[in-house]
Amino acid sequence: MRASVEEAGALLARSDSAGRRRRSPVQSASSPPRPGTLRRQSSSFREDVGHAASETYLVSRLTFTLLQYLGIGYRWMSQLLALTIYAILLMPGFIQVGYYYFFSNQVRRSIVYGDQPRNRLDLYIPEDNSRPCPVVAFVTGGAWIIGYKAWGALLGRRLAERGIIVACIDYRNFPQGTIGDMVNDASQGISFVCNNIADYGGDPNQIYLMGQSAGAHIAACALMEQAVKESAGRPVSWSVTQIRAYFGLSGGYNIYSLVDHFHERGLYRSIFLSIMEGEESLSRYSPEIVAKTSSAGTIALLPLIVLMHGTEDYSIPSSASKTFVDVLQQVGAQAKLLLYEGKTHTDIFIQDPLRGGRDPLLEDLLSVIYADDTIARQKIVLAPTPRRLVFEWQLKLARQISPF
C-alpha cells in the first residue's frame, strides 16, 4: 500500500510540474493590480482548461486505482455511478457556472500563494470595488480526495454579486498529500489573503474564513492550530485576530466519532486513516478535541464560529456540528448553530443556489458579514434575485440519486 500511495503522489507531483511549465506565469503578490482595476491573466482559456482537465483526470484516475488496490469494490463503484448521474442532471447549471468561471472579468484564476503543488487560489471580485470589500477565504470540500478550488465558483459568484471578494483556496488532496499537508496548504492560503488582499481591493479588517464539508474540517484545523501557536507565542504568518468569523458548512469536527460512519458510507477505514496520518493523529486533527484541551488564552483568540448544517445530511450528520458548538460554548468561545430543516449535504451548497430565488445560506452569511453596514444591507434588498439555472425536475431527481 505504501508503494502505491508514494507512486500516486509522485505522478501527481510530476503532472503539476508539467502543468506549471505549460502555463504562462500568473500574477504574484509582488506585482498586484491596482485596487479597482480588473485585468485578465495572461494565460489563455485553452491552457486553463487543459491544466484543470489534466489535473482532474489524473487525480480521479489515481484515486480510482488506489481505492481499487485497497479492495473497494461494488459500494464505491455504485457511489461513483450515482455521482456521475447526479452531475449529468445538474450539468446545465454547471455549464453556466463554468462559463462564468472562465470568461468573467471578475474572476482571477490560479493566483499562486505557495511553492507546493496545488498552492493556488481563485479570486471572485465584485464589479463595484470602489471601496474596500469584505473578504471570504473559502476552503472547498471533496472528501479530502477530490477537492478543487473551482468547486467554489457558484458561492464565489453569488457573494461577489453582493459586494464580497471570495478567495477559493486550493490544496493538495490525498494521495498527493495527507491531512497535515492539506491544513498547511490552507493555512498558507489564508496567510496570503490576510497579507495581500488589500492589493486586490479587499478590506484586511473584514476577513472571514469559511469551509464546506472536508474543507470545513480543514479550515477549522487551520484555525485551531493557528490559535494554539499564537497563544504560545510562536511565530505566525497570519493572526487569528484577523479573522472576523468562521463559517463551517456541513463539516465534521471530531474525526474519532466519524471513522465508523465514513466506513459505512464507503470511505473505508483503511484509506481514511491513511488520509488522517494514522489513528494516533485523530486527536490532533479533531478541532473539537483540540478545543476541549486548549488553554483559556487559545480560546480567547478564536473569532465568532458559526456552524451550518442540514438536518437530513447523511454524509456528515448534523450532530457533528451540534456537538462542536456545545463544546465551544462550554469552553467559553463564541459559537452558534444554524440548522437547515430537511436539507441534505449538497442542498444548501449546490441545489438551492442552482434553483435561484431565495437562498437561506447566502442570507445567513450576509447577515453576519454586513451586520454593521446599513448601506450594504439596503443595497442587498434592492439587488436582483438570482435566476434559476436548472429545472425543478432535475433538482428533485438529482436529490434522489445523490450519493451525498
- Measured at the CA of 217, the angle between CA 211 and CA 221, to 5 degrees, comes to 105
Do residues 117 and 129 touch, judged by C-beta distance below 8 A? Answer: no
Strand 243-249 relative to strand 304-310, pairing: parallel
Name the nearest CA neighbour of 106 among 27, 148, 160. Answer: 160
**Cell 464589479 belongs to residue:** 127
Q: Pairing between strand 335-340 and 165-169?
A: unpaired
**Residue 143: which of 98, 91, 179 has the closest Cα?**
179
Q: What share of the chain is helix, strand, coil (3-state, %, to 5)?
A: 55, 15, 35
- Whole-angstrom distance, CA of residue 331 vs CA of residue 100: 43
CA–CA distance, 140 with 210 (Å, rounded to integer): 9
Residue type present at position 196:
N
By C-alpha distance, which of 199, 197, 235, 241 is closest to 223? 241
Q: Which residue has the cell 503578490?
A: 29
End-to-end CA distance of the chain: 27
Q: Please report the DSSP string for 336-364 in residue order.
A: EEEEETT--TTIIIIIHHHH-S--HHHHH
Query: Three-class SS of residue 326?
Result: helix
The three three-digit cell numbers of residue 309, written as one number: 448544517
- Are 15 and 58 in contact by the 8 Å Cβ rule? The answer is yes
Strand order in the sheet with 335-340: 107-112, 120-124, 165-169, 133-139, 202-212, 243-249, 304-310, 335-340
Catalytically active residues, by annotation: 213, 313, 345
Give 168's strand partners.
Answer: 122, 138
Vertex 167 angle, CA 162 and 170, to 5°: 145
Look at residue 180 and give its three-state secondary structure: helix
Question: Pairing state of beta strands 107-112 and 120-124?
Answer: antiparallel
